[in-house]
Structure 1
Amino acid sequence: MRWADLEGRRVAVWGFGREGRAALNALARRLPGQAVELYCAADEMDAATAAFPSVRVHDTAPDADALAAFDVVIKSPGISAYKPELLEAKARGTRFTSGTALWFGMHGDARTIAVTGTKGKSTTSALLAHLARSLGVRTALAGNIGLPLLELDEAGADLWVIELSSFQTGEATGVSLGVVTSLYEEHLDWHGSRARYVDDKLKLLAASERVLVNAAQPTLLSRAADHPGLHTFGDLAGWHVADGWIRRGGEDVIRAERVSAPGLHNAVNACAALAALEILGYDAHAAAPALSTFVPLPHRLQPLGERDGLAWINDSISTTPLASLAALESVGAKRTALIVGGHDRGLDWTPFVEAMHGHEPEAIVCQGSNGPRIADALEAAGIANVYRALDLGAAVAAARVSLGGEGCVLLSPGAPSFDQFRDYTERGRYFAELAGFEPGTASIQGLGVG
């Protein structure tokens, strides 16, 4: 959909997060004088009215009748496309679009790399932008990573690196290269089923002239097999990790340990980024040394630095027990206090508990609403060094005591943040503050055009 399709129509914006605000601002720029209505949460109404005085604001969620009163509704990504009221309004003639779709509708000639994946999409996107800029390419980094495309609606760039969530992949069109880093089960509440999640995620394949997928994932590889522009990473013929090296075929290019973002999975993300650059004709070999100067993304195994003799690592984005295990393995042999726990969504911690036998860290600090359940399971299995804390503040204090001024404090909760925080970002920033770092330490670097 293009902006011209909205002119003179009955238009609504649904959602007042950053995407919703970006849509309202873009409407004011693109179609001055266009009537628009906004649906937001009750606690957002005052801010919305102050920021957009000419917009009629509703402080309740729209039902099917309300939605059907509009010709076009610009929807925020977090609102499921499968909500019954949305589907009914759609059947009655309302068209639904998004900031992502509107941006692609106006930038058909842009050179774009769109990146999605259950895990790794944010780091891969940021690595791509960093490596391209190291080659002198004017590069934009935007999308689901934290900067709505419409905030860069009129910016110029030679290359656009766009992270897309599974909520957005069906809204992209004319993508130069679509990258899929991984495919696991997630966001079933939005999509309704695993099959629909996979189908929605892989809509990026149909939207892309060429695609790059992880060869280590058979299901993903088979779904992409018929694409005429298929490329892969993670296999021996292309960019992959082996024997501590990032390799291109049989050639050792750079030691994996030189990737500033820690862990094997980030070395694999680096392979995806290098492969993507190569496919679009850039010199990936020349870009590889810049992997060592990349600033790791906040909340994803992010090394914050040292305070009081302790190293602090922020992995607030971890929301499954297996993610906590992977984080602990990435830290290695350091004396570690691992902080786990948060909102209890009933996930099974048995594999985590079993993995701790003989390999438990110096301390496992269990906090948050599911902290007692995790601690009970660990203690019932005979795991030592289990600490209990009511909340994150108490957990950090317990971690300090357990390490005695030597070692690493690792926040990798294995659970969502909603018992104490608005989201994992707020949780990670609070952790950074508790450790003695400025809140800006936990901000994404490199967004926008550079």
Structure 2
Amino acid sequence: MAAIADKQPRQNLVIGLGRTGLSLVRHLLARGESVAVVDSRVRPPMLERLNREYPAADWQGAIPDQPPTGCERILLSPGVAADLPLLQQARAQGLEVIGDVELFARHHQAPLVAVTGSNGKSTVVSLIAHLAGGEAAGVFAGGNLGQPALDLLASEPKLCVLELSSFQLESTSSLDARVGVVLNVSEDHLDRHGDMDQYTAAKARLVGQSRTLVLNRDDPRVAAMAGDASSVVWFGAGQPRGETEYGLLEADDGLWLVRGERRLVAADRLPLAGRHNQLNLLAALATLELLGYAMDEVLARLETFSGLPHRMQTVPSRDGRRWINDSKATNLGATLAALAGLDAPVVLIAGGQPKGQDFAPLGPALARSARGLVVIGEAADQLSAVAPTDLPLRRAADMPAAVSAAAEMAHEGDVILLSPACASFDQFRDFAARGQAFEQAVQAREVRA
């Protein structure tokens, strides 16, 4: 595919100096363009690197209310508030406002797979890249996972696989993805988007930018996106409705992942736990078949896929219980999926920054499978309020206390699951730091035992 022409404005303003902001600076300077950079933080994380490696960039400090004189284009890092006065003024003046993924779309040459959804994006992107042969085969993954999209261009990839958040899709309009994948839509980032309709609309922006869609037939909001699509392949938890659909088949010899009536792989061979990960693999397999990969070769690589940290990751323990780190579950949908995929009683550790979610659906899920609930962080009161009244409930001030409380509640053979259903920023740097704190607390118990 020929890259979309870019008119190359000479004066760019980059908002946000994290990894994505730095990738924008690097890309623009390499093209001989002028770059100024602003951030709401006094010392953003990449400021030292900017000053050391890119002295030609103009660090201007705080975000102004008006576009600087001579500014021709504004480029956003993910997560920059859409209602900034600067952006309102820029649009009123007719300035282009885009993100790094849109800039990537104008310059990439390789076939592109784009994956979005509330949960499972990183796992599906990693599965697709790994099962297609990985970097050794010229397959590179990035976007909201790993490398910023623009950094992939230097690798001259044969296939790009991008994870895209709702924030990134808001500022992207010309992807031309060979395959676009929408996994699911559940409450997340409502503090940013306002309501579910606006959040869903942001995800649905991928529909008009993809040649073929892989959609979850079990999710009503995702299924509704098919109305605007020219080509759709479906996946879901039940039996396929036709030979081109992907699903799950309960047979005498166990559960199988299938395409139509064709058995692809037995569920007990999967390296990832949970029903939601079976669906993630179905989406990945559908994508790879659309791209022309041989299924036998794809499935042979499945045995070497080890999963991603902090996503349904078992923490070693000798105490007769299974400890699972699912710290990446930063919204309720992810936690509900984790609970549904486990077949033993669960003591759940949940809480953090709530992000405007309604936690009411957690109550019935806890009633079905939970032995107990330990709540942490800012959302502790909200989570406590939806718990069944007869469910043992503990409140913990920090992660070691949460782990101790969960251990006291759990029986031998139970699962103790950290799946917070919330962001981490009230107590931790990020979800990874939260997951590491959980693992360290579990390991500390092992040492004391």
TM-score computed with the length of structure 1 as normaliser: 0.85
Q: Looking at both structures, which has the greater relative contact order when contacts are Cα pairs under 8 Å and sequence separation is at least 6? A: 1
What is residue 364 of structure 1 aligned with on the other side? 373
The residue that corresponds to 2:11 in the other structure is: 10
SS at match of 1:241: strand
The 3 A distance-change label for structure 1 pair 345 and 154 is closer
Cα 1:195/1:343, change in 2 over 3 Å: closer
Q: Give CA deviations for 1:249-303 in whole Å, capped at 9, x if unaligned.
A: 1122211232212111111111111111111211124412433432222222222
Asked whether the 8 Å contact 1:129–1:139 carries over to 2, the reply is yes
Q: What's the secondary structure of 1:306's corresponding residue?
A: coil
CA distance in 1, matches of 2:357, 2:188: 13
Shift in Å at residue 84 of structure 1? 4.5
Distance in 2, matches of 1:176 and 1:429, equals 37
Partner of 1:87: 88
Task: After superposition, give the CA deviation of every residue in 1:373-403 in whole Å (9 maximum; x if it has no partner).
Answer: 5446648x1223x332111222123334445
One-letter amino acid matched to 1:100: V
- Confirm or deny that 1:162 pairs with 2:168: no
Distance 1:77 1:6 in 2: 22
The range that moved more, 232-241 or 218-227, is 218-227
Structure 2 counterparts to residues 239-254 of structure 1, below 5 A: 239-243=246-250, 244-254=255-265
Task: Please state if 1:236 is matched with 2:241.
Answer: yes
CA apart distance, 1:15: 0.4
Q: Distance in 1 between matches of 2:333 and 2:207?
A: 28
2:310 is matched with which residue? 299
Gaps spanning 5+ residues in structure 2: where?
Answer: 445-449
**Residue-by-residue CA offset, 1:63-121 (whole Å, 9 max, x unaligned):** 1x2357511122112114454431321220322222212222111x3111111122222
Contact in 2 for aligned 1:80/1:191 (Cα 8 Å) = no
Question: What's the counterpart of residue 415 of structure 1?
Answer: 422
1:207-286 to 2 correspondence within 5 Å?
Answer: 207-234=209-236, 235-237=240-242, 238-243=245-250, 244-286=255-297
Q: Secondary structure at the match of 2:322?
A: strand
For 2:337, give the aligned amino acid.
A
One-letter amino acid of the counterpart of residue 173, structure 1: L
Alpha-carbon distance in 1 for matches of 2:430, 2:126 = 21
Partner of 1:102: 103
- The SS at the match of 1:124 is helix
- The answer to whether residue 381 in structure 2 is matched with residue 382 in structure 1 is no
- Aligned 8 A contact 1:68 1:93 in 2: no
The CA RMSD over aligned residues, in Å, is: 3.0
The offset of 1:371, in angstroms, is 2.7
Work out which of the residue numbers 328, 335, 339 in structure 1 matches 2:349.
339
CA separation of 1:328 and 1:72: change in aligned 2, threshold 3 A: same
The aligned counterpart of 1:443 is: none
CA distance in 2, matches of 1:423, 1:277: 32
Q: Are the counterparts in 1 of residues 275 and 337 from structure 2 also a CA contact under 8 Å?
A: no
Question: Offset at 1:55?
Answer: 2.6
The question of whether the paired residues in 2 share the 8 Å contact of 1:80 and 1:167 is answered with no
Counterpart secondary structure, 2:282: helix
The answer to whether the Cα contact below 8 Å between 1:307 and 1:435 also exists between their aligned partners in 2 is no
Matched, 1:183 2:188: no
Q: Structure 2 vs 1, CA of residues 345 and 103 (structure 1 numbering), >3 Å: closer, same or farther?
A: closer
> Equivalent residue of 2:62, what SS?
coil
Larger deviation, residues 294-303 vs 304-313: 304-313
What TM-score, normalized to structure 2?
0.85
TM superposition shift of 1:24: 1.4
Displacement after TM superposition at 1:160 (Å): 1.3
Alpha carbons of 1:26 and 1:58: their partners in 2 closer, same or farther (altered >3 Å)? same
* Contact in 2 for aligned 1:77/1:98 (Cα 8 Å): yes
**Preserved CA contact (<8 Å) 1:307 1:436:** no
SS in 2 for 1:212: strand
> Does the 8 A contact of 1:260 with 1:296 survive in 2?
yes
Question: Any idea what the Cα deviations from partners look like across 1:380-432, whole Å, max 9, x if unmatched?
Answer: x1223x33211122212333444588754321112221220233232123223
Deviations 1:329-365 (A, max 9, x none): 423226x43212223556454443344447432x422
Unaligned 5+ segments in structure 1 are 438-450
Match of 1:353 in 2: 363
1:116-136: CA deviation from partner (whole Å, max 9, x where unpaired): 122222211111111111798
What is the CA-CA distance between 1:167 and the residue it aligns to?
2.1
User: Retained in 2: the 8 A contact 1:68–1:94?
Assistant: no
The Cα shift of 1:172 comes to: 4.2
Query: 2:187, 2:357 within 8 Å by CA — same for their partners in 1?
Result: no
Residue type at the aligned position of 1:390: A
Alignment-derived partner of residue 74 in structure 1? 75
